[in-house]
Amino acid sequence: MPSVQITWVAGRSAEQKRKIAQRVTQALVEEGKAKIENVHVTFHDLPATDYAEAGVMVADQKRTA
């Protein structure tokens, strides 16, 4: 049973997550030969104060994109 956990900084909409879950699931079905009913996708949304990239808290980063 494939289980995919996506951990990222919070901010995506339910619709974005829905589309991502569908695409990840489809990839596992097509390429991994998994049964669709066995694919599980979990989203872990973290506040920017709880996630760091390259040693810098995301909350402290200045993002342009």
CB 4, CB 17: distance < 8 Å: no
Q: Is 2 among the catalytic positions?
A: yes
Comparing C-alpha atoms, which of 60, 26, 52, 17 is closest to residue 6? Answer: 17
CB 48, CB 59: distance < 8 Å: yes
Residue tagged active-site, from 1, 2, 18, 31: 2
Catalytic residues: 2
